Structure 1
Amino acid sequence: MTTVVKRTVTALATTSILALSATAATADTWRYAFEEALEDVQGVFAQKFKEEVEANSDHQVQLFPYGTLGESADTMEQAQAGILQFVDQSPGFTGSLIPEAQVFFVPYLLPQDTEALGEFFRTSKAVNEMFPELYAEQGLELLTMFPEGEVCVTTQEPVTEPADLNEVKVRVMTNPLLVESYQAFGATPTPLPWGEVYGALQTGIIQGQENPMFWNWSANMYEVSEVITCLGHSNFTTAVMANKEFYDGLSGDEQQVVQDAIDVAFDHIINYQQGLHEESIEKIKEAKPEIEINVLSEEQRQPFIEAGEKVEDRFVEMTGDSGKAILDQMKADLEAVTE
C-alpha cells in the first residue's frame, strides 16, 4: 500500500470515528485500539476485556487492531481526544509523552520469568501507584501494564558481542532511551514506523529489529532475517489506558466493570503467555529451517550488561528526580517478587 493510500485510509477511518465522538462518554459502544493483530498478545487481552465488559454490562466494546486507525501516534492522539475510550500502547511509543515510562527500556532491569513478571506488574508500587499520576497528567487513566515476552533481535549476521552490531542499522521505536541502548550496544539505531519495517529489512535499508518472539513469528520478521538472537536485555511491556475524561465520567458501577474486566484479562494474558516464546521458536524453525536462533550465555551477555549500566545512568539524566524515584521503586518491587 502506498503512503498516499495509507494516509487516505487512515483519514477516512478517523473521520468516521470523529462523527461518533460527540457521545463518547455516554456511548453504548466503547472503542478500544491496540498495536497488534487480534490473535496476538494485545489482541487476546482485548478480546477477554471485551468479553467481560459485555457479559457484565449493557456496553459493547468495538476493537480496532493495528493498522485500522493508523500508526501508534495516531491512536494515542485519538485516545487523548476522546475519540477512543481505550488504547493499548507500549511505553516505547509513549516515552516521548511520559519520559519516565522509558524505564522499561533500561537494559537488564526486568527478569525474563513470566510468572515473576506477572507478580511484579500485579503488585508493583511503581506501576500501580506512581505511574497513574504521570499518565493522568496527559489525560489518560492507566488501567494496567503487562509483559508480552522476552525481546529478541533479528539480524542478517550472528551476534555474540557488541562488536558484531557495529554499523548494523537496527530499527527501534521512537523512544530516546531505546536509541541510547542500541548505541551503547554498538549498533546504529534507526527509528521507523512499524508499517515500514518489513520492506526496509527486505531492501537492506535496515539490517535488524527487536521484538518478542511471538511477534517475530506473527509479523513474519523471520522471513527477512537470517539470525535471531536473545540478548536477555528486555521484556516487552505494554500499557492499557482509558481517556481520563471518559473514565471519570463513568458511574462507580461502570468503573468497577472496567476494573474487573481488566483484572480478568490480566490473569488470562499471563497464563496465555506460558510457553508462547518457545512455541513461537518452533513455528519459526518449521517455517524456515535454515534460520539461526541463538540465546547468549551469561558470559556473552556480560559486555551488553556493562553497556546497559550507562543507559541506566542516561535514563536518570533524562528524567531527573522523578525518573530516579520510579527506577529505585521498581528495583525494590522487583527484588520483592524475585526473592
Structure 2
Amino acid sequence: MFHSRVLGALTGAAMALGMTGAASAAELRYAHVGAEGDIQTIFAAQAAEGIGSATNGEVTVNVYPASQLGGVAEMVDGVRMGSISLGHHDFASLARLVPEVAVFNAPFIYRDGAHALAATDPATSPALQAINEKLVAQGVRIIGRIYRGDRQISANFPVKSPADLAGKPFRAVPLELWVSMVKGFGAIPTPVEVAELPTALMTGVVVGQENPLTMIAANNLNEVQSHIAMTGHMRAVLAVFVNEDVWQGLTEEQRTAITKVLDDEAKKSLQMAQEGEAKLVEELKGRGMTIITEADGLDIAAFREKVNAQIAQDFPNFTPLIEQIAAIQ
C-alpha cells in the first residue's frame, strides 16, 4: 500500500510537470491536515473547484484532507520533493527550510485580519517576498494564504492584564514561539499537549490556556474555564505553498489564474472567520462563560508591550521583519 501511494504521488507530480504549450493539462495533488468542517478544509475544496473553472479545466486539483498523505512534516517534505504538488499549514511549518518564515505566526504582529492578509500576500508583501526567495531555493514557494481565526485567552478567573497571570501556570503549546509568548503574558509556561488540556485545566496543573474560540467550544472548555479575554494575540494565518518545479511547469496564464483564485478564497476565509467568531461569542456566553473585551477593562496594549518585548529578546532576528510587516498598510 505504501509503495502504491508513493507511486501514485510520483505519477501525480509527473503529470503536473509533463506539460507543453498554452493548453497543457495538469493534475495537482493538494494535501493538508485539516478536518472536515474547518475553514481550511472548506478553503481547499473551494480553491480546487475555482482553479478548475478559472483554467477552463486545464488544471485539475485533487484535494487530500485530514492527513491522508501524511502529517505536517511528511506533507512539507512531499511538496519540497514534488511527490505532493501543493499543501497548506502554519507558516512555522516551513521554518526548518527557512527559520525566519515563523515570524508570520508571531503574536501581536498584525493590527487586524485585513492587515494579516495584506502582510502575507505573496504578490505585494515585501517581507514575504524576501522570505519566498529563500524558500524557492529550497524548492518551495508560498502562493496563497488562509485566515483561520484569532486566538484568545481563557482562564478560571478574570484576566484583564499580564499582572492577573503573574506567576501562574499557563498552558503553552510545546513550541519555542509559544513558550516565549506565555512568558510575555506574565505566566509560567507549562507545556501541555492538546489531548491532555481539559484534564490539566480541571486538575489545576494549568489555570488557563489560549486557542481560537472554535477549539474552546468544540472541546467544551467552558466546563473547566469560566472567562475568556478577547486578546486576539495571534491571528492564525496559514500558508499555501507549492513545489517550485511544478509551479514553473505551469503556463503563465495558469499561474495567474491560480493566484487570483487563492487570493479570492483568502478574502472569503477572513469573512468566514469573523462571522464565525461573532456567533461563537454568543454561544459561549450561553454556556455560562464571561467574555472580557476592552470595554470591560481588558488592557490589550499591556499584553502587546510585554509579549513584544519577550519575543524581541528571544527571537532577535525577527525584529527587522516585524518592522517591515508593521509598515504594510
Confirm or deny a common fold (TM above 0.5): yes
Structure 1 stretches lacking a partner, 5+ long: 1-11
Report what 2:5 is aligned to: 17
Question: 2:319 and 2:202 mapped to 1: Cα distance?
Answer: 40
1:48-67 alignment runs, 5 A limit: 48-55=46-53, 56=55, 57-67=57-67
Q: Note closer, same or farther for the CA distance 1:163–1:35 as it changes in structure 2 (3 Å cut).
A: farther
The correspondence for 2:41, drawn from 43, 53, 75, is: 43
1:272 match: secondary structure? helix
Task: Indicate if the aligned counterparts of 1:106 and 1:315 stay in contact, CA closer than 8 A.
Answer: no
Q: Note closer, same or farther for the CA distance 1:30–1:98 as it changes in structure 2 (3 Å cut).
A: same
Question: 2:173 and 2:109 mapped to 1: Cα distance?
Answer: 18
2:159 match: secondary structure? coil
1:303 aligns with 2:298: no
CA shift at 1:194, angstroms? Answer: 5.2
Task: Indicate if the aligned counterparts of 1:128 and 1:144 stay in contact, CA closer than 8 A.
Answer: no
Give a deviation string over 1:83-135, Cα, whole Å, max 9, x none.
321111112433454322232344433113x3444445447533552231132
Structure 2 stretches lacking a partner, 5+ long: 16-25
1:331 aligns with 2:326: yes
Q: Note closer, same or farther for the CA distance 1:134–1:300 as it changes in structure 2 (3 Å cut).
A: same
Report what 2:259 is aligned to: 259
* TM-score of the pair, normalised by structure 2: 0.79
CA shift at 1:54, angstroms? Answer: 2.2
1:107-256 alignment runs, 5 A limit: 107-112=107-112, 114-122=113-121, 124-165=124-165, 166-172=167-173, 174=175, 176-191=176-191, 197=197, 207-218=207-218, 220-222=220-222, 225-256=225-256
Task: Indicate if the aligned counterparts of 1:232 and 1:296 stay in contact, CA closer than 8 A.
Answer: no
Report what 2:271 is aligned to: 271
CA shift at 1:147, angstroms? Answer: 3.2
Task: Indicate if the aligned counterparts of 2:80 and 2:139 stay in contact, CA closer than 8 A.
Answer: yes
CA shift at 1:43, angstroms? Answer: 1.6
Return the letter of the residue paired with 2:173: V
Q: Note closer, same or farther for the CA distance 1:309–1:115 as it changes in structure 2 (3 Å cut).
A: closer
Q: Which moved more, 1:186-195 or 1:269-278?
A: 186-195
Q: Note closer, same or farther for the CA distance 1:97–1:108 as it changes in structure 2 (3 Å cut).
A: same
Q: Note closer, same or farther for the CA distance 1:257–1:280 as it changes in structure 2 (3 Å cut).
A: same
Q: Note closer, same or farther for the CA distance 1:156–1:60 as it changes in structure 2 (3 Å cut).
A: farther
Question: 1:197 and 1:149 mapped to 2: Cα distance?
Answer: 20
Q: Which moved more, 1:216-225 or 1:136-145?
A: 216-225
Q: Note closer, same or farther for the CA distance 1:54–1:221 as it changes in structure 2 (3 Å cut).
A: farther
Question: 1:23 and 1:32 mapped to 2: Cα distance?
Answer: 14
Give a deviation string over 1:158-181, Cα, whole Å, max 9, x none.
32332443342313263x232211
Task: Indicate if the aligned counterparts of 2:32 and 2:67 stay in contact, CA closer than 8 A.
Answer: no
Return the letter of the residue paired with 1:240: V
Q: Note closer, same or farther for the CA distance 1:260–1:79 as it changes in structure 2 (3 Å cut).
A: same
Task: Indicate if the aligned counterparts of 1:211 and 1:236 stay in contact, CA closer than 8 A.
Answer: no
Q: Note closer, same or farther for the CA distance 1:117–1:91 as it changes in structure 2 (3 Å cut).
A: closer
Question: 1:75 and 1:66 mapped to 2: Cα distance?
Answer: 11
Q: Note closer, same or farther for the CA distance 1:305–1:194 as it changes in structure 2 (3 Å cut).
A: same
Report what 1:285 is aligned to: 285
Q: Which moved more, 1:178-187 or 1:23-32?
A: 23-32
Task: Indicate if the aligned counterparts of 1:103 and 1:315 stay in contact, CA closer than 8 A.
Answer: no
Report what 1:7 is aligned to: none
CA shift at 1:203, angstroms? Answer: 6.8
Task: Indicate if the aligned counterparts of 1:107 and 1:308 stay in contact, CA closer than 8 A.
Answer: yes
Question: 1:67 and 1:139 mapped to 2: Cα distance?
Answer: 22
Question: 2:38 and 2:312 mapped to 1: Cα distance?
Answer: 34
Task: Indicate if the aligned counterparts of 2:294 and 2:300 stay in contact, CA closer than 8 A.
Answer: yes
Aligned residues: 314
1:273 match: secondary structure? helix
CA shift at 1:50, angstroms? Answer: 0.8
Question: 1:259 and 1:314 mapped to 2: Cα distance?
Answer: 36
CA shift at 1:223, angstroms? Answer: 5.2
Q: Which has the larger radius of gyration?
A: 2
1:315-330 alignment runs, 5 A limit: 317=316, 319=317, 323-330=318-325
Question: 1:221 and 1:299 mapped to 2: Cα distance?
Answer: 21
* TM-score of the pair, normalised by structure 1: 0.77
